[in-house]
Amino acid sequence: MDPEEREEKFYLSEDIMVDIFSRLPVISLLRFKAVCTQWRDIISSPSFASLHLKCSTSNPTRHSILVRTNFESKLIPFDPLTYSPFSNLDIYCNLGSFGQRVLFVGSTNGLLCICGRSGKWICLWNPSTRLFKKIKTGIHRRSISFSVAFGHDLIANDYKVVVIHLISRQGAMRTGVKVWSANSESWKEIKVDCDFSFKWRVCGTMVKGFAYWIVGNGLGSNRKLLVASFDMSTEQLRLVPVPEGYSDPYCFYGLIWKDKFALAAFDGTKMYQVWTIENDSVGKESWTKKFTFELDFGFSLYTINAGNGKLLYNRGRQGLVFYDLETRKMKTVEIRKYNYLASGAHYYVESLLSIKGFQRLKENAKKMNLQQSHILFEI
């Protein structure tokens, strides 16, 4: 066969190549970037990253539940369909590269957000591509507590970090809110006209561009439990009272149920009631109890939102329990084999998405000791 005829026979248009590439895992695409300039340019383009994310989102084999462990600061990937640990997932899951004292904030479109326990820095990280960006928070020196959220502004296609912090000022506590935008690469203060406190240092639930916290307002008998919601697009914060009859913030857990925010309220036995907001108009919000479910074991302080309609419980030495609100099925994973407890869980979809200023995480960082890790990422 003539060489020109052979070349023409095996020719693939760029559209066909893009379609094929969009269906492949990230680890394969990273290797293909070295084949030729054309392939590198296709795979490196932002438009292709968006297409690949769309394909990954619709492909269950690209999904996992990343469970944060209290052992060696690792993220263990679980199959969201079978709840079995993946034996081999092509992402780098060692949080120890950023130091041992870190918080796992959340995961959005393949980007993870982690935070130093001191609140002085946050880090955006794509574990599939090994790229990261570390950012100073600049939290006020009088801040005595903070909580962090990470999400996607769907309107501006912007990734944002929200920090709520309590400031001690003239003997009183004041609430401050700061927002970092990936598009502008800067922080700005958000004015809030109310003060409240929170129990957890990371956002409980992120749903479609909204971050939610269970917070408290007032003292003593005047204390009220509220749901604080922050809109990543409008950058507005609002507070909604929780359903009546509850006074302990640990009785509530924020959930993602049918792609909406919901509350699970623990009644003190083995029963949980799930509530959703029916009227979403500002000042006219009302809660409706949707259903009740029961667990065959008692109250767990470590209830973790593990994705859309999925909960994760630590059941002591007996194992981790995954519970699906849709199917009402649960599965226990023995921990004696893996030797850890869960301290957090987030739904993860692998992607090629990048943030301006990303740099490569050194592959040998996981072999460094704690002192070397602090030097490598010192602010």
- 224-234, pLDDT tens digit by residue? 888 999 999 99
- For 84-95, the pLDDT digits (tens) are 877 655 454 566
CB-CB contact of 65 with 307 (8 Å): yes
Report the range of poorest mean pLDDT among 74-83, 120-129, 276-285, 298-307: 298-307
Which is more confidently placed, 83 or 222? Answer: 83
208: number of Cβ within 10 Å:
12
- For 311-361, the pLDDT digits (tens) are 887 776 677 888 888 888 888 887 655 556 677 788 889 999 999 989 887
The domains found in the chain, sorted by start residue, are 45-376 (2.120.10.80)
The reported pLDDT for the residue numbered 223 is 74
- For 360-370, the pLDDT digits (tens) are 877 544 433 32
The reported pLDDT for the residue numbered 335 is 62
The reported pLDDT for the residue numbered 291 is 85
Question: Quick one: tokens of 189?
Answer: 């203060």
The reported pLDDT for the residue numbered 102 is 79
| Residues in contact with 375: Cβ distance below 8 Å, sequence separation at least 6, in sequence order | none
Rounded Cα gap, residues 108 and 151, in angstroms:
6
- For 168-192, the pLDDT digits (tens) are 777 677 888 999 999 999 999 998 8
CA nearest neighbour of 263 among 271, 254, 272: 254
Question: Quick one: tokens of 271?
Answer: 């029963």
pTM of the model: 0.84
The reported pLDDT for the residue numbered 236 is 92
Most confidently predicted of 7-11, 32-36, 72-76, 244-248: 32-36
Rounded Cα gap, residues 211 and 34, in angstroms:
39
Does residue 167 register a pLDDT over 60? yes
